[in-house]
Structures are given as C-alpha cells and as structure tokens.
Structure 1
C-alpha cells in the first residue's frame, strides 16, 4: 500500500451494504472507483463461530438489537467463491482491497488468499478480541484498527500486541453510533490517539454527511473510511450512516484539494467553504467517553468470554476452556487473567457466559429475599421469564421483542405476580409510530399492538392481575424523526395518536402510554422525539382522551434537563394519570437508564412526591439484566435505602 505520505488514503466500506446481492456488491465497487476511493473494504464472517449456540439454533433467543443484526447478517452472507471474485474485481478497478474478519475462521480464510488483499481491518467490536488481533498482526500485512468502542486504557493494552508490527499499523478514531450525532464524534481525540499509539491515525465516520470527516484531516487523519451505499433507504443497519455516490465523490474531491494544503490553510478552506472549524460541536473535548448508545452497540456487536464446553465444579480454568462469542453479555477477553487458574464454584454449561460468580463462592441470592415498602417487579424478555419469577417481587414486566411476539410462547404455570406487558418498539424491523401520516407504518404499528393485546389477554389467567381492567400494556407512542426538524405539526401528531389507538379493541387490558425522552436511541443511533415528552401536552392528551401513562423517571429527567424544568413539578402536572412506573436515573439529555443515584435525579425528593402512590415499578437500569441481574439488584437496594430514610405511605391504588 502507499506510504500515506502523499495523499490521504480513502477507503470505501462496502460492508454488508450489498444486502447479499453479488451484483449490488459489484456496483458498489464500480461506484467506489468512480468516486475516487483508493480502496474498498469487505466484511468476512462465519456466523457459527461468532454467535452463541443458542442464537444459532433460535435467533429469537436474544435481545431486539441482536435479533435484528443476526437476521441482517444471515441475509448478507457470501460464499468464499463470491468473496474471491469481488477481491479480483476490485483489483481490476485499480483499488486496494481490505477485509475485516470477525472471527478466527474468517481470518484463516484470508490467510489462504493473503496475496489478494492489501490490508486487514479489525473493527471496533473486535478491538479487544486479543486472539483475533494477535493472529491478524502475524500476517505481516498492513493492519487498521478501529477504536470506537474502547477507552484509552484498553487502547494502550492493545499496543503491546501490535508493537512488532507498529510500522504497518494504523488506528482509526470513530464513534460507534449509526448514525453518529455531532455531539458524540469528538474529533479532538485524534490528537490523543496519535500521542498514545505513535502510529498513523485516521477516522472512520458514521455521521450523516461528511463535514466532520473533512475536519478530521485537520486533526491529523491520514486514512478516511466511510460506508458507501446505492440507496440510503434500503433495509440494513448501515445504509443511513453511509454516503451516496454523489456525496462520496464530493468528499474525495474535497480531500484531494486539502491534501495540497498546509494545516492552517485547511482550516481556512473548511471555514470558508463549509462553515466548519475547530470550534464546531463535533470537534469535542478530546476526552474519550464511551456513551450509553455505544455501550449498547458493543453489547450487540462485540463478543465476551463463554465456556467452550460443559465443565464440572472445581475445574481449574485454563485458556482452552474459554472462547469468545457474541453478543457480549459477559466479560471481555481483556479480563481473562482474573479467571485463569481459578477453580469453578459450580458446574457450567457449554456457551454459558463467564461471570464473576463462576469462580466466586458467594451464593447468588439476588432478589430472593428482597422486601420493599412499595410494589416492585423486574423486567424480562419472554424467553427469560423463568429466571425472574423465583423472588418476592409483586409483579413482572415482559418486554417483548417483535420476533418473540410473532413466535409466541405458551406459559403453562400460574405465576403469583401481577403482569405488565411492554410492547416492542419495532415490528417487522420497522419502528412503531402511531402518530405518523404514513399508512404503511401506521398499519404495521397497529398490527403489532393488536398482537400484543391478544398476547396479554391470552396469558392473563396465568398471573395475579391487580388492575380491574386487566393486564397493563405499555406502549411507546412514536413521534420520532431521524433528523432534527422544526416543522412538526404537534396537533396533528396527537390527533393521529388518538385516532389510531381508537381503532384497537382495548377491552380486557389497560393501555398505558409511556412518556418519551427527547433523544431516544433506535437502530444504534440517536433520534429526535417530539411528542409525549412535555408534561403539559401529556396532561392535556390524557384529560381529553382518558388514557393513563407509564411514567419513566429517566425519560422525564432527560426532558427536564433539555428544557431546564424541575422533575417534581413535571410529576405534579401529570400525577393523576400515572398508573405504573419505570425507575432509573438520567444524565444530560440522552443518558438514559442510568443506575439509581448515579445521575441527575434527586430520588429522595421525587419519592417523597409520590409517597402516596403504590402502583408498582420496575428498576429499568440499562443492561441491568447482566451478571444475573446485578444492575437491578443494586437499583433496588439503593431505592430501599432512600425509601427507608423518607418513609412511605401506602394509599393510592389507581
């Protein structure tokens, strides 16, 4: 490959934007060449090597995001013959060829055709996949590593592995949101990345448009990687954060002009032509913070340690007992030394996640004997229901994924707990929205909720329902947009919401509309929500249409932070409409699901305000289910301490 001393290396990421079509893949290569890219990059996977056995046998056996990604990857697989043909086709177009192997078997395939590729890319999800990085470095090819999901200390640990290949290594800064919002991008970290690694640095962009990508060159990026797509509206996880041919071509032509300029002239040029400079919001502070959305994407896309086979109690753990599988619901390979040489404290099954309690003799009594002065419960996926019923909780919330809903599951036993059913946010891999004018989205949303209502009614006899109308069903109203807009007709949105909900037969259930955050995370990226965020609007709608709500403390606090409002005043305005609670903390305007006591909510003041209400709640802590529900347990204990200090009154049972 070129020395990178002359011009910026521009990589067109084909990824899975071909959607499994060989012809589309060739068109993407054609357009990459025509747009002026130096290189194209492909993704190579062996799904059986990447995923936990349970997911391979039943893709519904995981969280929504993992279900979506897995199904997209299945549709996008190419044969080895096709992949080699695409490599050759790219070479004929005078393009460098790179590939990202997502597992050791895929890397082994690349080793067999190593002369057909010019560089190996390690994606952000596998940055801390030490066995993969180590084997990739051994190939003596140019190695490019993305750092989007890892902090500074983790980057420093990887340096020890690549030190003997340092002259052939580059590190890319990126933000692993799809698409990335400007406030997340933090281009100034490129300065720190260069200092930490002393290697070539670059930028892998996932933002809409390419202005931050251009500015990254001012901060020292010598490699630029962007996804290219034939159509941004196509199905698939990467199209919305990709560039069209026209955009890609314009970006490359601009970069070529900048390659001839000094740093100070680059800055002047960008400000004159694009009105961007080193003070633009996407420049950031230079401090690397892994935000909640990136952590969520990491849990879906990365891998963590699992047991390679069934092992007996007292087995002394060795490396050969462990391997990495996706999704990342356990510990990183970077923590493997904590487990090696330790005795197992229990029998473990093949592909069971490695957790601290695997080697810790302390018994797992989370939730078992937990008592609280208010009705409390836990949230679970339908597939994990049995794991969350052996405790003293008063209720259970089943948060459905759309594939679980379609597949269905028979609940045979009686569960002596109240039931809440949370409707999926997606149906047929499309976002649900009851406020839209789009007929297809409306019909899809109504079909989903109709199915959820039927599901809730069908299983209600297996639970101890407290509400006289039947099981409570929580739904998100919609009202979201991918991009900021100031042209939202709020009145029309609320009319649509009412009109569409009126089409449903709500007999036998109580429908609860959940208050929304200003910036929800969907499809791995940040959206803008415009309805059911403001307390006055919520109050007016509920008064007029006689609906109750599920009050989410985190969502409400995020809106309060954005609008400089007080949470307790927010609650007072809509208190009479609340019929159920989600409790978690919040940070800033988009940090939701934070552990109780770790964010901006003054819970003692809030809980005093609702001390006369005992409607039931769950701790909705982000990733609270990991490590056998450790996050939920911490939240409940934190709440118990606060409630113990302020006292509660059990009065109100709406």
Structure 2
C-alpha cells in the first residue's frame, strides 16, 4: 500500500516567463503538498512547419476554422532561468519534470541536469523523442489522451515500455474537458499494459481526481496558477488554494479506501473494551457437563472470555464445577476431546514447549497481577507497564526469581506523554514524569534476582499529533535527544521503541481518537539515531509491519536495517495499517521473515496481545506457543533445505 499519491503541478504556462512569479509559485506548491513541478519548452522552428509561422499566413482547417497556434505568443524561460528554477526546486524539496516538444528542447533540459520527463498526449506518438528519453533519462511520464487502446498497446510493445521506469497517464484532451469524455475507468485499461498509471487532469471537476485515486492512480497532474485574475491562464488550470484542497481530499479518500480485507481496527478494539460483553454463567454447572446456550448470559464489561468466543465454548465440557454469576475462563473448559487439526503433524507436536524461541520470553504485567500472570508459567522476565495511577503511590512488590523490564507510562494527568512535543511546557512535563518512573525502576530492581545489569527501560519518543501531521517534523529528533539529556538514566538501559503510524489515544472522554505519528517510524532514521546516541531499540514488530503496510516498503528489509541495535522485541499480529495487538497467526504478519532475521536473537520477546491480561494472561501464553511453532517450522524447513542441498551436492560428487 503506497503512502501517498505523487502530485505534479504544471506551472510553466502560468509563469509565462516571469521568474519572480515562478519562485513564489514554487514556494506555495511546496506548502500545498505538491511533489513535483513541470515546465514545457519548444523551439518553433523545430516543432512547427515554417509555412504557418508567418504572421500573414491564412491556414483554414476543418470546419472552416482558421489555424491559430495557442502557444505562439507564450513567453518561455531560457536555459539560465531553468537552472535557477532547478536549484530552487532542490532547496524546496520539489522534483523538476520537463516536457520537451522536440529533440532540441530535450537536449536543453538534459544539459542543465533534468532527469525526469513527461511527453504530452499530442506528442505521444513522437517515437524519436520518446526513444531518446527512454535511452538517456531516469523516468518518463507518458500521457495517453487521444489514443485508443490499440495505440497504447503498440507503444508499450514496440518500445518495450515495461522495461523502463514509465508511468502511463490517462488524459482527456479538451480544455477544459467535460465530464462526458473523462472515462476514468480507462485507467484499468492502462494497467493491462503498465504497472504504474496516473491521471493528467484537464478538467475543472473536483471528483475526477478522486475517481482516479480510487482506481489506482499513483500520479495526479494538474495545471496550477497563483491567482484567478491572472491573464492568459491555461483553460484547465486551478489556483494554488484549490490544489491544496485537492491534495488533502485525495489523501483522505486514499486513507478511507483501505485494503481488500475485513479487520478490526485498534480503535474498535478500544470500544469493544468499553461496550462489548463477556460470557457469564447463568446457572451452576457441574464438572463434565456439556455447555449449552442456556448456561450463559452476556454482560458488560468485557472480561475473560467474551461474546466473540460464543461458538468456541458451546458444546464443550466444563473442566470443573462452575458457579452461577461467575465469568467464564478458558481454564473452565475441558481440552479433552477438542479437535486438534495439528495433532498428527510431527513438526507441530508439543506446542506448549518454548525450546525453539531464541533468547528470552516474558509477559506484560502490572504490580497487582504479577502473581496471576506468572503462576505456573515458564518465563524469564516480567515487563512492568507503569500506568498513570502508579505515579501517585509507592510501589509494592514481592521478590521474584526473574529478570525485569520496565515500560514507561503512556499517560499522566489524562494526557498522552510526548518527549518530542513542540509544546515546550508539555515536553518538560513529560520529562519530569518519566524521570520519576526511572527512579521507581531503579528501586524496583532489587526485587528481581535475575536482573543483574542495568534495567531495560523502554521509552516512547511520542511524536504524535492530532488530527494531522506536522508541516515540519524535523525538530522532533533534536527535541527527543534533549529530553533524554534531561533524564537521569543511571542504572538503566534505554531502549527506544518505534512508533505506530496511526496511534489511538483517549483524550477527555471514553471515545478513542486516532492521531498520526510524525517520526521514529522509518527504519534508517531510527537506526541512525540509536547508533549516534549509543542507544538500544525495542523493536515493536507490529508497529513496523503496519508502517511497511502503509508505505509499501519491505518488512524484511526494515528488520534487517534495525537488527544491529535491537535489544528487545514486542510482538503480535496485525492487519491493514492500524489494527495491532492481534493474536499470532490471525493477521498478515510475515512470521517466516521474523524467524529468518531473529533466529539468533539473544534478548527478550514480549507478546502485546490486546486484552492479553484477561483470562489469567492466557492470550499472552498462547502467543508464545504460536511463536514457538513458527520457529519450529522455520528450523525444520531450514534443516530440510540443508539436507536437500547436501544430497544434491553428493549426487554431483558421484557423477
């Protein structure tokens, strides 16, 4: 899933040779969210027959219309102006795309360093020009207005366009183009011949670009100007304010379109916590009785086994005597006789073992439920998640023969903490809260006998804004660095956690809201920050997968990039771009890639399954069992591959 549509603003016509106007328009394009600007150039003697260049020429065309070249009086920039514009584009972070009408114009643009080109629809069969661009340049945007599918097929096949970096653009060549000829579904035809497609808009409608986005256009192009009262505008041009709205609308509709899957978002999970119901015993039930619908009621709040598991418990036997009015737990249901589709598969037997998970395994806990979470379980550590309420009281903790990891609280005084906030007072408030938790973590260490080094302390950088991204988030890394300098980190091993693309939070009432994380998302950025400051990383695999789902990047490469600094792992399954905390195997997480990258991991694995603390932590331990199966399958497959390779080598040696 691509993060953003690529927006091109054609501004050459609006500038009409005015360099000052052009530089101002470049600045406004950047503010509006444009990715690239486009300019065209032509040499009349190259593009127009000399017989029609004379002022006295009278050339009557079809329908008795006299030929008038619409560009004949247009003022173009010269080579020095283009060089100035290119430098300004680089400063603004805008790409420069050139549309040459002829080979001479193409060479002019190449000489100043332009690498990306567009060929407009009326030049789309200019084979010498297109061939020169394909041979010598980086990228071609080819507009197909006025071409039939047969023409498109011929171009793609004869010029082997699929072998080059080409985007086919749908267009309707009328200025402005009426809705009756737009035929936006033609984008699906272009996809038959080329992977990347887009839309070059010559209409003045607000809906065509939205339709293009929903049909898979990766690129949207529009003619743009600054002021509506400007003379000699392109007849399909819109002002910069309109292009800004269009970009926001397209990004919004792309977000709401989502993916071709049905899943429960994190926000819905939060609402389920508040409004969903649990299974409660309506009657006393004797051990061994087959559970029936008449034995149960559904009541708020959600706790232990909830209504979604209704069909999982009906028809099962009670594992012990159950009392009317009590919640139903998974341990109340007999496992005997349950169908196990994996019981005859040798590789998956003994699913309760933890032998195949490299490193350590642990469980999330609060002080009040440590004993409940670890009773009868085989774990190496507990990961204490502090909450806002813990800040106002002394920690009461028994002694445990375990290691310790501490996770900072996410809220204090009803606010989501942010160590990278542009609100200086709130950032310093967040620093003060975390400093107090760090002191608690140092004091907590003595209760955990296997915590012999510095206490691993997981820190969220923050970086969230609501409802929109910051215009400039670059300062957040410096602000987080400053926040760390203000903390007493003695006795602690600071682990920076990667953020989730679309975080959910509670602010003032019961209904969750969704914000956006600005930074500490990209693998390279996080790796560089940790290396620069000699910090470790807590890699949240779910956050990383959701981010790569959003950007279309490789999840495998993300993990490989950050692995050298990863000292702790959070894991769960996920779906889409914001649904996290799913049980292992119930989302689109790529577990064999995780096993490949972390097969030699020496540190901790903490499951973060939504509502995992319910039902005595059963969901956490089910996650460990399933993770163990994934590693067992991975090692079995790798061993088989090695055996096959050795057998093949042996056969070659015999020959």
Q: Distance in 1 between matches of 2:277 and 2:551?
A: 38
Aligned to 1:398: 384
1:631 to 2:619 alignment: yes
Counterparts in 2 of 1:613 and 1:359: CA distance versus 1, 3 Å: closer
In structure 2, the CA distance between the partners of 1:313 and 1:441, relative to structure 1 (3 Å rule), is farther
Pair 1:427-2:402 in alignment: no
Match of 2:210 in 1: none
* Cα distance in structure 1, aligned partners of 2:487 and 2:379: 31
Give yes or no for contact 1:306–1:353 (8 Å, CA) kept in 2.
Answer: yes
Where does residue 498 of structure 2 map in the other structure? Answer: 515
Matches of 2:632 and 2:563 in 1, distance apart? 23
Residue 325 (structure 1) aligned with residue 300 (structure 2): yes
1:532 aligns with 2:516: no
Q: How does 1:403-552 map to 2 (within 5 A)?
A: 403-412=389-398, 414-466=399-451, 468=453, 470-490=454-474, 492-523=475-506, 524-552=512-540
Aligned partner of 1:587 in structure 2 is: 575
Gaps of 5+ in 1: 1-270, 650-654
The residue that corresponds to 1:578 in the other structure is 566
Distance 1:284 1:553 in 2: 21
Q: TM-score normalized by structure 1?
A: 0.50
Shift in Å, 1:348: 5.5
| TM-score, normalised by the number of residues in structure 2 | 0.50
Partner of 1:299: 273
Counterpart contact for 2:373–2:613, Cα < 8 Å: no
Mapped partners of 1:351, 1:448: distance in 2: 41
**Equivalent residue of 1:532, what SS?**
coil
Larger Rg: 2
Superimposed CA distance per residue, residues 490-548 of structure 1 (whole angstroms, 9 cap, x where no aligned partner): 2x111110111111111111121101111112122221001111112112211222221
Q: Cα 1:541–1:482, aligned 2, differ >3 Å: closer, same or farther?
A: same
Gaps of 5+ in 2: 1-244, 339-349, 507-511, 639-655
Deviation of 1:572 after TM superposition, in Å, equals: 2.5
Note closer, same or farther for the CA distance 1:275–1:441 as it changes in structure 2 (3 Å cut). closer
- The Cα of 1:436 is off from its aligned counterpart by 1.0
Select between 288-297 and 451-460 the one with higher mean Cα deviation.
288-297
Query: How far apart in 2 are the matches of 1:597 and 1:326?
Result: 27
Matches within 5 A, 1:217-366: 290-307=264-281, 324-332=299-307, 335=310, 345-346=319-320, 352-360=326-334
Aligned to 1:252: none
Q: Distance in 2 between matches of 1:338 and 1:439?
A: 52
Give me the whole-angstrom Cα distance separating, in 2, the residues matched to 1:415 and 1:406. 24
Q: Which residue of 1 aligns with 2:642?
A: none
Once the two structures are superposed, the pairs formed by residues 54-69 of structure 1 within 5 Å of their partners are none
Which residue number in structure 1 is paired with residue 155 of structure 2?
Answer: none
Indicate the larger mover: 637-646 or 623-632.
623-632
Structure 1 residue 607: deviation in Å? Answer: 2.0
3-state SS of paired residue (1:464): coil
CA deviations over 1:338-378 (Å, ceiling 9, x no partner): 669x98543557864223543436599x9986544421111
Contact residue 388 and residue 411 of structure 2 kept, 8 A: yes
The match for 2:598 among 610, 613, 631 is: 610
| Deviation of the 1:329 alpha carbon | 4.0
* Structure-2 change in CA distance of 1:585 and 1:321 (3 Å): closer
Post-superposition offset of 1:618: 1.2
* Residue deviations 1:466-502 (CA, integer Å, cap 9, x gap): 562x211112110001122350332x11111011111
Q: How many Å separate the matches in 2 of 1:554 and 1:539? A: 17
- Partner of 2:327, secondary structure, is coil
Shift of 1:563: 1.8
Count matched residues: 376
CA deviation profile, 1:155-211 (whole Å, cap 9, x unmatched): xxxxxxxxxxxxxxxxxxxxxxxxxxxxxxxxxxxxxxxxxxxxxxxxxxxxxxxxx
Deviation at 1:297, TM superposition (A): 1.4
Q: Does the 8 Å contact 1:367/1:392 carry over to 2? A: no
3-state DSSP class of the match of 1:376? strand
User: Which residue matches 1:191?
Assistant: none
Q: What CA distance in whole angstroms lies between the structure 1 residues aligned with 2:254 and 2:543?
A: 28
- Change in 2 beyond 3 A, CA 1:350/1:502: farther
